[in-house]
């Protein structure tokens, strides 16, 4: 799993991923790129843990502070690994200027606040999937990043046949994708 902090990043090898088809529903364990430690003293029973779960659970004011400070550009590469997508595809999905972000990654720079927010929103989506599977499915061996990466790249009838990835470059688009994931888990959309 990877961990990005506001000014620096640290990578470890990604967790083993499943070779089987995508699970029927999205959520499992991991830690939040953007903050060193925002953990409460005790997570609620059944709560997903880890980087992405922390991003999901982070209070709004803390989120704003992290985004304003800027996430490390290495977080884009880390996200690509988590989603099992190429760095180029991840940059495109997030709507980032490719040459600028690649230069920031190489120079170990931080993303600006707009870019940090979009990356953070994608981290929250993985945390949301982790939490959903933790609450409603079998998290054993489930890789939320891999599942989300595959799901984002599939045409979705609820989006008029478009891929959910096409909506991740704006906050409103991310909200639409979040809503779709919630509807999937509640059974409102099959």
State how many domains the chain has: 1
Residues in the chain: 190
At 12 the pLDDT is: 39
For 14-60, how does the pLDDT look when each residue is reduced to its tens digit (9 = 90+)?
333 333 334 443 433 333 444 333 333 333 334 445 788 888 899 99
At 135 the pLDDT is: 85
At 189 the pLDDT is: 53
- β partners of residue 3: 10
DSSP string computed for 17-86:
---SPPPS--------TT-S----SSPPTT---SHHHHHHHS-HHHHHHHHHH--BTHHHHHHHHHHT--
pTM value is: 0.72
- Its domain, for residue 146, covers 2-186
Parts of the chain with a pLDDT under 70? 1-49, 187-190
Q: Are 76 and 90 in contact (CB under 8 A)?
A: yes
Whole-angstrom distance, CA of residue 30 vs CA of residue 92: 25
Whole-angstrom distance, CA of residue 95 vs CA of residue 150: 18
């Amino acid at each position: 799993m990877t961990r990005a902090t506001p000014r620096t990043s640290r990578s470890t090898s990604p967790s083993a991923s499943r070779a089987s088809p995508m699970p029927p529903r999205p959520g499992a364990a991991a830690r939040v790129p953007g903050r060193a430690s925002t953990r409460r003293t005790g997570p609620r029973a059944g709560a997903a843990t880890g980087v992405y779960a922390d991003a999901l659970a982070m209070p709004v004011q803390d989120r704003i502070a992290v985004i304003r400070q800027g996430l490390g550009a290495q977080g884009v590469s880390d996200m690509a690994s988590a989603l099992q997508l190429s760095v180029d595809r991840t940059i495109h999905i997030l709507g980032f200027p490719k040459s600028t972000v690649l230069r920031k990654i190489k120079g170990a720079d931080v993303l600006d606040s707009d870019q940090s927010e979009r990356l953070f929103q994608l981290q929250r989506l993985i945390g949301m999937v982790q939490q959903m599977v933790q609450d409603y499915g079998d998290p054993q061996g489930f890789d939320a990043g891999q599942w989300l990466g595959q799901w984002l790249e599939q045409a979705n009838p609820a989006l008029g046949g478009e891929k959910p990835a096409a909506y991740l470059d704006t906050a409103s688009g991310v909200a639409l994708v979040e809503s779709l994931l919630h509807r999937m888990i509640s059974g409102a959309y099959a």
